[in-house]
Amino acid sequence: MRAALVVLGVVLGGYGAVLLWENPPVILMRIVVWALVGVALHDLVFAPACVALGFAARRLIPGTWWPPIAVAALCSIVLVFLAIPVYGKPGMRPDNMTVLDRDYPLGLWISLAAVWACVPLYYVAAARFRRRSR
């Protein structure tokens, strides 16, 4: 089973590599660099920044507040990632007003506000629940 999975995976990946190889060297290089820069940005910038933020937050915020704040932080990160390609509408073309036709800054701020509004609500609800179950 395990060996079969590994072989199947190598064959699939190998076929992908063959397809990529059909690109001219310059293009292939750009593709590989894009993938590696993604890994480097995550491992050396994004992840350490999250660790630093979490480290600082745990010293500043009392333990009972951590769960809702950690979840809200994760949701905020996801919202920001999803907003990156639409926020400043970098892909907009003047001949087509049906793409990127929302107010994305407003949308992002409203959704972030909604997420963080849930934090105190959760805290109050959780505190009541704890008191009742005691």
Partner 1 sequence: MKTETLRGTAVTARVGLALGVTVAVCFVTGLISHFIQHPQPWFFWPTRPVWLYRVTQGAHVVSGIAAIPLIIVKLWSVWPKLFERPIFGGLVRQIERLSILVLVGSMLFQLSTGLMNIAQWYAFKFFFTTSHYAMAYVAAGAVVVHIGVKLPVIRRALGEPVDDETDFVGPTRRTVLRGTWLAVALATVVTAGQTVPLLRKVSVLAPRSGQGPQGVPINRSAIAAGVLRSARSPDYRLTVTNGSTTRAFSLADLQAMSQATHRLPIACVEGWSVDAEWTGVVLADLVAAVGGSRDSDVRMISLEPPGPYSRTVLPARHARDAKTLIALKLNGQTLDLDHGYPCRLIAPTRPGVLQTKWLTRIEVVAS
Interface residues with partner 1 (CB under 8 A) are 1-6, 8-17, 19-20, 22-23, 27, 30-31, 34-36, 38-39, 42-43, 47, 50-51, 54, 63-64, 66-67, 70-71, 74-75, 77-79, 81-86, 90-93, 95-96, 98-102, 104, 106-108, 110-111, 115
Rounded distance between C-alpha atoms, residue 65 and residue 68, angstroms: 6
- With the CA atoms of 88, 93, 97 and 103 taken in that order, what torsion angle do they form, in degrees rounded to the nearest 10? 0
**Cβ contact 87:108 at 8 Å:** yes
**Cβ contact 65:122 at 8 Å:** no
**Cβ contact 54:77 at 8 Å:** no
Looking at the Cβ atoms of 63 and 132, the one nearer to partner 1 is 63
CB of 66 to partner 1, least distance (A): 5
CB of 83 to partner 1, least distance (A): 6
CB of 59 to partner 1, least distance (A): 13
